[in-house]
Structure 1
Amino acid sequence: MTAGAERRAIPMRIIIEQPVVGVVHSLQARDGSPLDPKSSRGGEALAFDFQISVGPGPKFFGDQVLREGPLRRFVYIRIGQLAGDPSSPWSRRMKIDIHDIPADLSDRAADSGGVIAITVIGTAADGTPACATQRPTGRRIV
């Protein structure tokens, strides 16, 4: 069996709760360009859907999955100017790790056809858009 045949497709959703109102966020494509830009008009959560595949190890793959070293896999959320809003005062990225998704969660999602939803908080303590590595406040199957 080839490595690709051992991979299981899993839909993912990044949910940014409490985003800074009016600030554009987007998923980042592998080539660095913004995908699916959106902003919150009244503080409502933003959701970004994409698909990954999980192979033995587990190892994570996908068009939005980036790597750092042999194990770390993550997804970037672009913010402000990086998300396609040239008038924004912010030019940031939020890094959301996926390599530490528990195997039982990815197995249950693959078996049930469910979506793994990862929730993060979008506003930093100082009131500006959160950036750098953000720890999930929740992971669940929806």
Structure 2
Amino acid sequence: MARADQIEIALRIMVEHPVIGVFHSLQAKDDQPLDPKCSREGETLRFDFPIRVGPGPKFFGDQVRREGPVRRFVYVRIGKMAGDAFSPWSRRMKIDIHDIDGDLLDRAARTGGVIEMTILGTAGDGTPACATVRPTARRLVER
């Protein structure tokens, strides 16, 4: 698909209640940590990045990963995977984007707003959340 058929949309992942002292990062295209952040007092971690959306919708971008013909997602790396060699954790969160509501995508494209997805950063056992993490909220916010 030609880039001319794609619209750039801003995404934001908000990691609420991350485990204090544990680094998180986006995963770059070369599988390296990108923009590592660490919560010092339980504050929410914020990751902003662009994606491109084409007809279908189909999703593209440096942070977009694929699984099968439809599933598209973004990884948030944790602990060692986020660049902290001394962390006891080496995990990733998989956050689906292929299921973002079409109306939300259209409004973001039309207004230039940011699609903000909120996820919980701590699992039920008190360790960093990992595997597929479902957003607790998706909304459109102003830049």
Does the TM-score normalized on the shorter chain lie above 0.5? yes
The alpha carbon displacement at 1:30 in A equals 1.7
Q: Please give the secondary structure, in 2, of the residue aligned with 1:51.
A: strand
Aligned residue for 1:133? 132
Number of residues of Structure 1 aligned to a counterpart in Structure 2 = 141
Aligned residue for 2:116? 117
Alignment of 1:83-122 (within 5 A): 83-122=82-121
Find the aligned partners of 1:33 and 1:87 in 2 and give their Cα distance: 17
Aligned residue for 2:40? 41
Aligned residue for 2:68? 69
Uncovered stretches (5+) of structure 1, i.e. residues with no partner: none
Find the aligned partners of 1:7 and 1:61 in 2 and give their Cα distance: 9
Aligned residue for 1:82? 81
RMSD: 0.8
User: Taking structure 1 as the reference length, what is the TM-score of the superposition?
Assistant: 0.97
Find the aligned partners of 1:56 and 1:102 in 2 and give their Cα distance: 14
The alpha carbon displacement at 1:3 in A equals 3.1
Runs of 4+ in 1 over 2 A off after TM superposition: none
User: Taking structure 2 as the reference length, what is the TM-score of the superposition?
Assistant: 0.97
The alpha carbon displacement at 1:69 in A equals 0.4
Q: Structure 2: which amino acid aligns with 1:68?
A: E
Q: Please give the secondary structure, in 2, of the residue aligned with 1:117.
A: strand
Q: CA deviation digits over 1:54-81, x for unaligned, max 9? A: 0000000000000000000000000000
Find the aligned partners of 2:83 and 2:4 in 1 and give their Cα distance: 36
Q: CA deviation digits over 1:103-123, x for unaligned, max 9? A: 110110011010000110000
The alpha carbon displacement at 1:91 in A equals 0.3
Q: Structure 2: which amino acid aligns with 1:115?
A: V
Uncovered stretches (5+) of structure 2, i.e. residues with no partner: none
Find the aligned partners of 2:30 and 2:58 in 1 and give their Cα distance: 20
Q: Please give the secondary structure, in 2, of the residue aligned with 1:5.
A: helix
Q: Please give the secondary structure, in 2, of the residue aligned with 1:128.
A: coil
Alignment of 1:7-46 (within 5 A): 7-46=6-45
Q: Please give the secondary structure, in 1, of the residue aligned with 2:19.
A: coil
Q: Structure 2: which amino acid aligns with 1:30?
A: K
